[in-house]
Amino acid sequence: MFNNARISLTAWYLLIIMIISVMFSTIIYNVESNEIERFEQIQRLRIFRRLQERGIVIPNYQSPPPPFQIQYSNPELLEEQKQRLLLVLIIMNLGILCISGGLGYVLAGKTLQPIKEMMDEQNQFISDASHELKTPLTSLKSAFEVYLRDPSPSIHESKTIMKESIVEVNKLQTLTESLLNLALFKKPHNHSIHTIVATTEFITEAINKMKPIAKKRQINIEFIPIDYKIKGDKYILRDLIVIFLDNAIKYSPMKSKITIQVTKKMNHVLISITDQGIGILKKDLPYIFNRFYRADTARSKAVFEGYGLGLSIAKKIVENHFGYIQVSSIHGKGSTFTVVLPKM
């Protein structure tokens, strides 16, 4: 498909270039033909005049009134000149055809490459998303089939199936929400809605949101409020910290500690979220921000629920705020995710 589009785009480039080139060649041919005729007439007239001055009379010659009459010209010579001009123009046009064909092909490739990459990425996204959606849908389907096969299910069995189904529906909800967020943050961001926000404000809101989940696992979230001002969307920044806290809680053992630290370095504000969790293997670090990427340690253990979308959403949010994310992690000891944002 890419090659067909490339060839058809090259053909369009060629068609436009050749139309322009042939148009100009026709104009050049007409103008130059007239010029040749005019030049030939002037030369002829000069010779006649010179001969006349020397007293040489040419029979049947009368000084031609301008414009110079054509019957005094040499038609064979004129025709030869015109044909030569035509040949030069044809060769030039063939040259333009070959060169613009080659250049057009290269240019068409370069023009279509980003579109191809975008389409490949979109196809990959659709196939990954479908794959992730398939698992909870299959579980739901088999739960309902088992239920229907039983002629007289007990209330207890019905409730169990309902509970399992709700778990799967919740998973579907989380996944669709994440997919929607990812699509939302991938769009060009409206920076005009950014306001000046205090770091304490959105970090405290994120902590309050995640506290009940942390409490269930007896995880303590430590935060020493230090205020720096940054420019951004308060609610989106809160969701950003929620993503890191959610991961920190999810990948940490019971009764552990999560620390949030805010520091300043040059013109940047650094927000670090440190946990004492399972950590990330060195080989996984370059990929954890990729969509749907889950490290084997997270994937293999059923307790760590997730779809590998959180960090890719976080990356998009931080990029939309002109910042970046740093990670340092020791496998088995814990991880630190640092969000670096421009300071106001």
- Compute how many residues bind ligand ADP; rule: CB under 6 A: 21
**CB 310, CB 238: distance < 8 Å:** no
- For ligand ADP, which is the closer residue by CB, 108 or 214? 214
Among 248, 318, 325, 339, binds ligand ADP (CB under 6 A): 248
Among 247, 274, 276, 338, binds ligand ADP (CB under 6 A): 247
CB of 142 to ligand ADP, least distance (A): 24
Distance, CA of 48 to CA of 59 (rounded, Å): 11
Distance, CA of 215 to CA of 203 (rounded, Å): 17
- For ligand ADP, which is the closer residue by CB, 115 or 180? 180
CB of 251 to ligand ADP, least distance (A): 3
Cis peptide before 67 (omega within 30 of 0): yes
DSSP state of 343: B
Among 245, 251, 276, 321, binds ligand ADP (CB under 6 A): 251
Which amino acid, residue 21?
S
Q: Does 307 bind ligand ADP (CB under 6 A)?
A: yes
CB of 121 to ligand ADP, least distance (A): 17
341 burial level (CB within 10 Å; 0-12, 13-18, 19+): buried
Letters for 278-297 (x = contact with ligand ADP by CB under 6 A, - = none) are xxx-------x----xxx--
CB of 208 to ligand ADP, least distance (A): 20
Q: Does 274 bind ligand ADP (CB under 6 A)?
A: no
SS3 of 258-284: EEEEEEEECCEEEEEEECCCCCCCCCC
Give the angle 198-277-300 at the CA atoms, nearest 5°.
120
Binding site for ligand ADP (CB under 6 A): 247-248, 251, 275, 277-280, 288, 293-295, 298, 306-312, 335
